[in-house]
């Protein structure tokens, strides 16, 4: 089983739509989680960290469910500029881990007019 | 805002040649990473580096790969004898400590012919 798994999509949504991405992780030692955004042939850019209590940044809301080993990202009022690949990442903490990130394969989002 | 930089942006090399990819992490950061992304695939961890030594490496990071921080600012990835399958984007990342988010450089696109 893949350590971090995402629905690859693609998701094609109209401007203004609400879209949700899911991500599951298999390593219970994973402690921190992140959503990154990646534009074509560019580096991953940190979108937001994901906390157990959930967190919101403008139109973006991230949730973590440790019991189900599940992370989500909700984008409200989609803009054309939101079109990108969204990467879920997990990081172990402590022990022999030095902060490496394990990424999912990414979910492609296309927002159309 | 400080950022991670990488050179060159694109490197073309012939199979069997040695390549050195260069990164300048953010100046006060202590942990450094290399990741790679083969076209159309997920971002994969290669190696982490802390206190002038490798702290963790993946199965991909075999004897053909080495890393160095030669002068306190640059962080390099060397591939001794490139193979066709080494063609990928190589991203450098750095963080202040393991509890912080990772910031990625813009990447070097390596093409092995």
Across the range A45-65, mean pLDDT stands at: 91
Q: Is the pLDDT of residue A57 over 70?
A: yes
Tell which A residues from 9 to 68 touch B, by Cβ distance under 8 Å: 32, 34, 38, 41-46, 49
**Measured between alpha carbons, how far is A64 from A72 in angstroms, rounded to an integer?**
7
pLDDT of residue A93: 65
pLDDT band at A6 (very low <50, low <70, confident <90, very high): very high
Asked whether residue A95 carries a pLDDT value surpassing 90, the answer given is no
Nearest Cα to Cα of residue A73 among A63, A83, A59:
A63
Question: Which H or E run contains A12?
Answer: strand A11-14
On chain B, the residues whose CB falls within 8 A of the CB of A32 are 99
Contact B56 A98 (CB under 8 A): yes
B2 alpha carbon, distance to own chain's centre: 18
Q: Which of B71 and B14 is assigned the larger pLDDT?
A: B14
Q: What span, in angstroms and rounded, lies between the C-alpha atoms of A21 and A62?
A: 10
CA angle centred on B65, ends B61 and B71, rounded to 5°: 120
pLDDT at B73 over 90: no
Positive or negative torsion for Cα A24, A29, A35, A37:
negative
Interface probe for A, chosen from B102, B103, B109 (most Cβ of A below 10 Å), is: B102
**Beta carbons within 8 Å of A43's beta carbon, 6+ residues apart:** B91, B104, B105, B106, B107
- Per the model's pLDDT, the better-predicted residue between A97 and A23 turns out to be A23
CA-closest candidate to residue B97, choices B41, B47, B51: B51
């Amino acid at each position: 089983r893949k350590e971090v798994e995402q629905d690859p999509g693609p998701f094609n949504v109209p401007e203004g739509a609400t879209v949700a991405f899911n991500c599951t992780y298999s390593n219970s030692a994973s402690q921190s989680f992140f959503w990154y955004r990646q534009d074509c042939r560019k580096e991953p850019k940190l979108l937001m960290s994901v906390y157990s209590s959930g967190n919101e940044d403008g139109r973006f809301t991230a949730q973590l469910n440790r019991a189900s080993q599940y992370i989500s990202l909700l984008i409200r009022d989609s803009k054309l500029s939101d079109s990108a690949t969204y990467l879920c990442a997990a990081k172990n903490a402590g022990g022999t881990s030095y902060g490496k990130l394990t990424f999912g394969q990414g979910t492609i989002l296309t927002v159309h007019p | 805002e400080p950022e991670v930089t990488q050179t060159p942006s694109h490197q073309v090399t012939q199979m069997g040649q040695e390549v050195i990819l260069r990164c300048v992490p953010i100046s006060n950061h202590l942990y450094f990473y290399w990741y790679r992304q083969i076209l159309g695939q997920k971002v994969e961890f290669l190696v982490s580096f802390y206190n002038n030594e490798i702290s963790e490496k993946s199965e991909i990071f075999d004897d053909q790969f080495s890393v160095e921080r030669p002068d306190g600012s640059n962080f390099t990835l060397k591939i001794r004898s490139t193979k066709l399958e080494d063609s990928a984007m190589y991203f450098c990342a750095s963080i202040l400590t393991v509890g912080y988010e990772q910031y990625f450089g813009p990447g070097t696109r390596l093409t092995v012919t």
